[in-house]
Amino acid sequence: MATLPLDELKIIEGFGPHLSAMTGVRLSTSVEPDRLVKTHCCFCGQQCGIQLKVKDNQVIGFEPWEEFPFNRGMLCPKGVKRYLQGAHPDRLTTALRRDPASPHGFSPLPYDEAIRTVASAIDRIQSAHGRHAIGVLSGASLTTEKTYLLGKFARMCLRTPYIDYNGRLCMVSAGAANKKAFGIDRTTNPWSDMVGTDVIWVAGSNVAECSPITTNYLWQAREQGARIIVQDPRITPAARTCDLFLPVKPGRDAALFAGVLQLMIEHNWLDHSFINTHTTGFDQVAAYCREWTPARTADVTGVPERSIRRAAELWGTAKSSFLFHARGIEHHSNGVQNSLGTINLVLASGRIGRPKSGYGTIVGQANGQGGREHGQKCDQLPGWRDISNPEHRKYITRVWGMDEADLPGPGVDAYEMFRKIDAGEIKGLLSICFNPKVSLPDSTFITRCLEKLEFFTSIDFFLNDTARHADIVLPGSLHEEDEGTVTQVECRVIKINKAVDCPGAARPDWRIIQDVASALGRPTGFTFTSPREIFDELRIASKGGVADYSGITYEKLERQMGVFWPCYSDDPETGRPVDHPGTPRLFEPGSYNPIARGAGPFYFPDGKARFNVAEYRPPVDDASDDYPLFLTTGRVVSQFLSGTQTRRIGPLVKQYPEPRIEIHPRLASKVGIADGDWAIAETRRGSITLRAMVVTTIRPDTVFIPYHWAGPKSVNRLTVAAQDPISRIPQYKVCGCRVRKADGPPAYAATLEPQQ
């Protein structure tokens, strides 16, 4: 039974979020650390190198790691304060069981008993309702080793098709578009290629707050002559000084790309030779774009016609360029089409696959890239293999030592899993690294689904908002308590190093998964004794797939400070063993890949990239008479995702304590709201009351609310559960909304601290 055991305030009182602070050895100016551990930040997909100061099995501070090539010591405030998540008062150090009689709703129980309880609940539900009655939710902040193990655990141990991950809310539109256009899903160039390029187009990415280190690359490119184009409904820090600002109306991105491509076609700003030699499908795309005249594009997108013309000219006439995009164009029910629209601009220009020219998608989570490659996605097997492809199934089941007939088929996306819980098809859930009660849209529905579960277990280091519904909570590991690999934004696989041991009864997550498998009496395939052993199996499992890691070793990662995949153990051309250095840049002329086999640089049998018609469709639940404004959501620099970690770090909470409703003064004066007033934002799903922030840096028809907070402050009570038909990403970036002034402070203001 997965209802809350007690009033939520009581649970919060016991388990937080409370704030950590610099105290004791972390404040002392005389304590010398025992050692410095070179590792990476636990938060976003940039994965900055950092050195953690360790003293007596505790992380007491950090020292910049200036040799690591991506960030060279640079960090954002989250990286600076990440170490304060350790030795935290809210840290789970024992297993917990739901206990309405205890003062905070949960009581400790021995780890082994907790594992047995979980295993017997899984066994009971699977015996009664079939193997598919159990679902697994996982996440892209986990190391690649853990994501691989979870995919294997769901398919081989539980034999359920139902596993999906929180990358579903993040990278899937980009991933699907990349696969359709290039046959491979990754950023094409290292970030250093940006410096020295002619034009950089930033489509829907507030780099200053979401990927701060990228800003230095952007500014350095500008110093060296690059023109910067920023497409955003808000004047972000990058938009403030960019050369061309495209203030697009939320949800109209595909129209903008079509309009720009149409102008490029009209002015013949095209690389015909590249299009003819290396692509297919241009004619269909050109036919679609014909209707996107500048006037119509301006009308639909809200971008002035002269700016659209200027964008086409800047992009069309450049000699070298870089385009990158993020959630701003991807978090849409049209997210794949939006992403394909950017790729069409890149392919039409022919500027890809060479130094200073490329295309990239900015990943959101620590392992946003690696976490989407090795099988925790509902339709995928390791190495970016397809669970519906008989050859792929045969290969992986051979590596795993199981009968192919026992391997389940494709499951469903994370949101659809909740619909299956609602329908009674999924009755038990195991969740790790995912906080759907805060992060999924229309979260009132998600809460209702959680309450319907017969059994819910969560592996976590803090009791997050979703885990409050759990029957059993298993104490997992923090980033710094385990080793493994992740793949960062440039597709550089890097090594995460362990700094400290897990406290109390907490365990590395992969051990917990294996303990459950063992307690279920199905230990085969789950007897690894270290992350390195898991990685070594992953190398074999990924071999021959598009995301080929076979040539990567922990030693090579340390030696090269990261390895860009694909990295082969055997030369794909000759089949002979090779010491492959990795592939920093894709699609270079004459490059060989195992799919095209020399036919061309792209990852299709004919070696050619695909133009795809990138159709504009209006958003679901668009602004209308009743809800005339666009609601859009996003991040602030001091918080991360659902805030499970960052809402517990004192200095970060102090920097931006609570969410605010960002509105333009023209809108504010129309509805009678002043800066700092309590205001109500309402959509068809619900309403929330927050303080208003009145600024001229947002479209007057648009409202922005950051998404890191829970409960009555959670903007995902308002967002719509519309999803892209291909990628199944939710449409977080737009829905119809209205705002009005509140009569007074909301009830929560008297009871909840800012972070709670």
The string of DSSP letters for 691-750 reads EEEE-SSB-TTEEEEE----GGG-GGGTS---B-TTT--B-TT-EEEEEEE-SS--GGGG
Q: Rule CB under 8 A: say whether 701 interacts with other proteins.
A: yes
Binding span for other proteins by CB under 8 A among 73-81, 102-110, 183-191, 746-754: 73-81
Q: Which of 36, 55, 159, 219 binds other proteins (CB under 8 A)?
A: 219
Q: Cβ atoms within 10 A of the Cβ of 508, count?
A: 23
- Least Å distance between CB 510 and other proteins? 32
Reading the block at residue 106, the tokens are 């949960």
- Least Å distance between CB 483 and other proteins? 25
256 in Cβ contact with 616 (< 8 Å): no
Q: Measure Cα distances from 524 to 153, 156, 158, 527 in Å.
A: 10, 9, 12, 7
Residue type (1 letter), 415: Y
Q: Rule CB under 8 A: say whether 354 interacts with other proteins.
A: no
Q: Which DSSP category does 234 fall into?
A: B
Q: Which of 474, 667, 715, 722 binds other proteins (CB under 8 A)?
A: 667
Q: Which of 81, 152, 325, 498 binds other proteins (CB under 8 A)?
A: 81
735 in Cβ contact with 619 (< 8 Å): yes
Angle between helices 509-519 and 111-129 (to 10 degrees): 60
Binding span for other proteins by CB under 8 A among 124-132, 347-355, 588-596, 688-696: 688-696
**Would residue 168 be called left, alpha or beta, if left means φ above 0 and alpha means ψ between -120 and 50 degrees?**
alpha
- Least Å distance between CB 32 and other proteins? 10
- Least Å distance between CB 670 and other proteins? 5
Give the helix/strand (H/E) hosting 37: strand 35-40
Q: Which of 146, 168, 699, 733 binds other proteins (CB under 8 A)?
A: 699
Site for other proteins in 23-52 (CB under 8 A): 26-29
Cα–Cα distance measured from residue 734 to residue 724, given in angstroms and rounded to the nearest whole number: 13
Q: Rule CB under 8 A: say whether 666 interacts with other proteins.
A: yes
Cα–Cα distance measured from residue 83 to residue 722, given in angstroms and rounded to the nearest whole number: 37
| 564 closest CA partner among 543, 548, 584 | 584
Q: Rule CB under 8 A: say whether 294 interacts with other proteins.
A: no
HEC secondary structure over 150-166: HHHHHHHHHCCCCEEEH
Q: Rule CB under 8 A: say whether 192 interacts with other proteins.
A: no
Q: Rule CB under 8 A: say whether 77 interacts with other proteins.
A: yes
755 in Cβ contact with 657 (< 8 Å): yes
Q: Which is nearer to other proteins, 508 or 706 (CB)?
A: 706
SS3 (DSSP) at 248: coil
Tell me which residue has tokens 């080929």. Answer: 548
Q: Rule CB under 8 A: say whether 79 interacts with other proteins.
A: yes
Site for other proteins in 358-377 (CB under 8 A): none
Q: Rule CB under 8 A: say whether 235 interacts with other proteins.
A: yes
Q: Rule CB under 8 A: say whether 223 interacts with other proteins.
A: yes
Q: Which DSSP category does 89 fall into?
A: T
Q: Which of 3, 216, 553, 569 binds other proteins (CB under 8 A)?
A: 216
Binding span for other proteins by CB under 8 A among 147-155, 161-169, 184-192, 235-243: 235-243
599 in Cβ contact with 705 (< 8 Å): no
Q: Rule CB under 8 A: say whether 61 interacts with other proteins.
A: yes
- Least Å distance between CB 239 and other proteins? 7
| 494 closest CA partner among 559, 579, 433 | 559
Q: Cβ atoms within 10 A of the Cβ of 284, count?
A: 12
Q: Rule CB under 8 A: say whether 222 interacts with other proteins.
A: yes
- Least Å distance between CB 38 and other proteins? 16
Q: Rule CB under 8 A: say whether 694 interacts with other proteins.
A: yes
Q: Rule CB under 8 A: say whether 220 interacts with other proteins.
A: yes
The radius of gyration of the chain's CA atoms, rounded to the nearest angstrom, is: 25
- Least Å distance between CB 60 and other proteins? 10
Q: Which of 7, 67, 573, 675 binds other proteins (CB under 8 A)?
A: 675
Q: Which DSSP category does 503 fall into?
A: P
Q: Which of 69, 237, 281, 618 binds other proteins (CB under 8 A)?
A: 237
Q: Which is nearer to other proteins, 41 or 340 (CB)?
A: 41
Degrees to nearest 5, angle at CA 641 with 77 and 632: 105
Binding mask 625-664 for other proteins (x = CB under 8 A): ------------xx------------xx--x--------x
Q: Which is nearer to other proteins, 131 or 741 (CB)?
A: 741
Q: Helix, strand, coil: what percent of the chain each, to 5?
A: 35, 20, 45
Q: Cβ atoms within 10 A of the Cβ of 482, count?
A: 25
| Total of chain residues touching other proteins, rule CB under 8 A | 64
Q: Which of 154, 176, 239, 478 binds other proteins (CB under 8 A)?
A: 239
Q: Rule CB under 8 A: say whether 236 interacts with other proteins.
A: yes
| 477 closest CA partner among 86, 168, 67, 756 | 86
Give the helix/strand (H/E) hosting 609: strand 609-610
Q: Which of 581, 670, 725, 747 binds other proteins (CB under 8 A)?
A: 670
Binding span for other proteins by CB under 8 A among 168-176, 231-239, 268-276, 365-373: 231-239
Q: Rule CB under 8 A: say whether 243 interacts with other proteins.
A: yes
Q: Which DSSP category does 467 fall into?
A: G
Q: Which is nearer to other proteins, 430 or 681 (CB)?
A: 681
Q: Rule CB under 8 A: say whether 241 interacts with other proteins.
A: yes
Q: Rule CB under 8 A: say whether 213 interacts with other proteins.
A: yes
Q: Cβ atoms within 10 A of the Cβ of 571, count?
A: 15
Q: Rule CB under 8 A: say whether 198 interacts with other proteins.
A: no
Angle between helices 282-289 and 335-349 (to 10 degrees): 110
Q: Which of 302, 335, 545, 736 binds other proteins (CB under 8 A)?
A: 302
List contacts with other proteins (CB under 8 A).
22, 26-29, 61-62, 64, 66, 71, 73-77, 79-81, 208-209, 212-213, 215-216, 219-220, 222-224, 235-241, 243-245, 247, 302, 304, 306-307, 309-310, 637-638, 651-652, 655, 664-667, 670, 675, 694-697, 699-701
